[in-house]
Chains A and B, each alone.
Chain A
Amino acid sequence: MIPTIQASPEETYDIELEHSLLQANAKIAEENRKQLDSHDITAIDFMGAIGSGKTTLITRMTEKLGDQLKLAVFNGDATTVDDFNLVANNGVPTVQLATVNGCHLDANLVAKALQKIDLENTDLIFIENIGNLICPAEFPLGSRSRVVVVSVTEGPYMVKKHPHMFLGADIVVINKTDLAEAMGVKISALVQDVHSLKPDIKVIPTSCKTGAGLEEVATALLSTANAPVHA
């Protein structure tokens, strides 16, 4: 008797694919970065929850750095143009990125926004991501630095509840410190939480109302913009 294996008509097959799903975005992000580098432009991505003060912080930074650098702002928002109006009022070229139902910006949207500004006349771009402390983390945009903005009004557990976002951050801003006492939030505990996740990272407590800490943020952003471009 000859040993025989007969293929059944319902034979199943396995195929290795190794197809990365985040690769498409990562690739466009790399292209954005190359394009920015070739024009000597630095992009900085601001991430944080709704109401943490991203737009206000960006507006303050445009006021502080507008004299030294040619700025542009990409304003990510699901639906409204309120933030656009706030920033554009300062005379800074601003592009609104409406994601409609999207919970994060992606590199493709940023690539389109780059076509809307004069790259020859830009040094520094602030990209305001969608107000969300989870989704934007795994979607790089091509920025050279990622700033996470949290505020004391979000309560004492903001870092503990959204740890992943801080792993990818380069600078963390703890905003609205003027309300810390009223909120019963200890700034030092939030700083410690961030450092438990990522030691050595720069954490800057700020108040956009009193102006505390804003100079330090501006200095940190400026040093990012002036850092030599890595090949």
Chain B
Amino acid sequence: MHELSVVSGLVESVLEFVEARGIKKLATVRLQVGELAQLEEEQLRFCYTAMIEQTPIQGSTLDIEKIPAEVSCAHCSYQGSPKYWDGALAGERVPTLQCPTCGHVAQAVRGHECAIKSIQYVA
């Protein structure tokens, strides 16, 4: 349940921002979450709704944009989508660090994001 620590950081940052700007009403927080960031959308939303209760941003919504993973291979210079693991038991397909072209280990160059992209508010 590390979503809770992420969301608590998020709510804290947003509250600071809202207070500093004297924003009346926050509409939406847009969050970018990378495919490799190990954050469950449903839990993020649940934590968000729970944490903003009785705060000035109560009633605002959390928009989550998924950022697909991208890997690069030092061995064959491949850069692009990762190879997915069909054998995994998870509900979603699982990205691996196996290079899709040569099979050597690849580095993740995108997909670990977890950032507030923008917020929408009523002035």
Contacts and interface: CB of A to CB of B under 8 A. Distances in A.
Contacts of A139: 2
A223 interface: no
A14 B118 contact: yes
Contacts of A136: 2
Contact of A13 (B2, B87, B103, B123): B123
B90 A24 contact: no
Contacts of A104: 2, 5
B121 A17 contact: no
A101 to B, nearest CB: 9
B97 to A, nearest CB: 5
Contact of A18 (B2, B27, B115): B115
Interface residues of A, number: 38
Contacts of B27: 12
Interface string A174-205: 00000000000000000001001111110000
Nearest to B121: A13
Interface in A1-40: 10-24
Given A138-B37, A196-B98, A21 B88 contact: no
Nearest to A102: B5
Which of the listed residues B2, B39, B95 has the most CB atoms from chain A within 10 Å of its own CB? B2
A19 B38 contact: no
A164 B96 CA distance: 8
Given A197-B97, A199-B104, A200-B104, A21 B120 contact: no
Given A11-B123, A15-B119, A193-B87, A138 B97 contact: no
B122 A11 contact: yes
B9 A14 contact: no
A7 to B, nearest CB: 9
The 4 closest A-B pairs by CB, nearest first: A135-B2, A19-B116, A20-B115, A200-B105
Given A19-B13, A199-B98, 20 more contacts: A12-B121, A17-B116, A19-B116, A21-B9, A23-B115, A103-B1, A103-B2, A104-B2, A106-B5, A136-B2, A139-B2, A157-B89, A161-B88, A163-B85, A163-B94, A196-B96, A197-B96, A197-B97, A200-B104, A200-B105
Interface of B: 1-2, 5-6, 9-10, 13, 17, 27, 36-39, 85, 87-90, 94-99, 103-105, 108, 112-123
